[in-house]
C-alpha cells in the first residue's frame, strides 16, 4: 500500500504529466475497488457472527456473565470500527465540493468537544488572524471530509492531554496569496520522535487500541483538496499544520 508521502510525490508528478495522471487515476480506482471488496467480504461474515452472538445471549442470558463472552463482544466492536475506518480511508479522495464556512464549522466543533475537554481541564481557543476571515468563511471544499479531518485532530489533541491542565489552540492564518493555514496545537504528551515520520502511514499508531487509519485518511483528504498536512513537535507542543489552496 502506498504511503501518504508516496501520494504527495505522485500528486506532484501528475501535475507535470497528463498521461501519468490517467494511469494513477486508474490505479487508485482499482486499489479502492479491491479495498472495498475486502471490506465487504469481511464485514458480511462478521455481521452474521454478531447476530448469532446476540441470538445466543438472548436464549442463554447467563452467557453475558462470562468475561470471555464480554471480551468477544468488545473484539467484535473493534473489528467493525476497523472496517469503518478502512471504508473512510478508501473513499477519502472522493470529494463533493460546496461553499462552506470553515470558521463556523470549527466553532461548532469547539462547542461539541468542550464537555470532553473539560473532563481533562483543557481549554479550546480559536484564533483568526488578519486576512483569513473572508477566505475561510466562504471556502469551496468537501465540508463533510474536512470536518472529518478536524474532528480527528481535535479528538487526538484532547486525548493527548495527561497533565493538570491543557490548552488547545486552533489558529487560522494566511500563508501567501495562494494558500492559508489551519494549525491545531496542543500541549499534550506529544508524539514519540521515532514515530514522527510514520504517523501518516496506514496502520501505524502510538495509541493503544488505535486503528492507525485516522491520520492517513486525514492526509489523503487534504492532499485531494490540493493542500498538505504536516506535524511538528517542539518545546512541549504538538502542531498539526494544514495548508489549503485559495
CA–CA separation, 215 vs 124, rounded Å?
A: 21
Annotation: CATH topology of 98-245: Heat Shock Protein 90 (3.30.565)
Domain 4-90 has CATH 1.10.287: yes
Least confident of 18-22, 82-86, 217-221: 18-22
Mean pLDDT in the chain?
Answer: 85
**Other C-beta atoms within 10 Å of 79: how many?**
15
- How does pLDDT run across 198-232, given as a tens digit for each residue? 888 887 776 666 667 889 889 989 999 999 999 99
How many residues can be counted in the chain?
Answer: 246
Question: Domain boundaries in the chain?
Answer: 4-90, 98-245
The partner residues of 207 in beta bridges, in order of sequence, read none
Query: Do residues 100 and 139 touch, judged by C-beta distance below 8 A?
Result: yes
| Nearest to 35, CA basis, from 97, 77, 96, 94 | 94
Which residue, among 89, 55, 61, has the nearest Cα to 215 in the 3D structure? Answer: 89
Judged by DSSP in three states, 158 sits in helix
Residue 243 has pLDDT above 70, yes or no: yes
Amino acid at each position: 500500500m502506498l504511503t501518504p508521502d508516496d501520494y504527495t510525490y505522485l500528486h506532484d508528478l501528475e501535475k507535470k504529466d497528463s498521461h501519468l495522471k490517467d494511469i494513477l487515476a486508474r490505479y487508485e480506482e482499482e486499489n479502492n475497488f479491491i479495498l472495498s471488496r475486502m471490506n465487504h467480504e469481511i464485514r458480511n461474515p462478521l455481521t452474521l457472527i454478531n447476530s448469532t452472538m446476540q441470538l445466543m445471549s438472548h436464549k442463554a442470558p447467563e452467557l453475558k456473565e462470562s468475561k470471555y463472552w464480554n471480551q468477544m463482544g468488545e473484539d467484535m466492536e473493534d473489528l467493525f470500527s476497523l472496517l469503518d475506518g478502512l471504508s473512510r480511508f478508501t473513499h477519502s479522495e472522493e470529494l463533493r465540493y460546496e461553499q462552506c464556512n470553515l470558521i463556523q464549522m470549527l466553532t461548532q466543533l469547539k462547542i461539541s468537544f468542550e464537555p470532553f475537554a473539560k473532563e481533562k481541564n483543557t481549554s479550546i481557543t480559536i484564533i483568526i488572524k488578519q486576512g483569513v476571515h473572508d477566505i475561510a468563511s466562504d471556502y469551496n471544499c468537501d465540508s463533510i471530509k474536512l470536518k472529518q479531518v478536524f474532528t480527528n485532530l481535535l479528538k487526538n489533541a484532547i486525548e493527548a492531554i495527561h497533565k493538570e491542565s491543557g490548552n488547545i489552540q486552533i489558529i487560522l492564518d494566511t500563508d501567501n496569496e495562494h494558500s492559508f493555514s489551519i494549525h491545531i496545537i496542543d500541549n499534550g504528551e506529544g508524539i514519540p520522535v521515532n514515530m514522527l515520520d510514520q504517523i501518516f502511514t496506514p496502520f501505524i499508531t502510538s495509541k493503544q487500541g488505535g486503528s492507525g487509519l485516522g491520520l492517513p485518511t486525514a492526509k489523503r483528504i487534504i492532499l485531494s483538496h490540493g493542500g498538505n498536512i504536516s506535524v511538528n513537535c517542539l518545546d512541549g507542543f504538538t502542531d498539526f499544520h494544514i495548508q489549503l489552496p485559495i
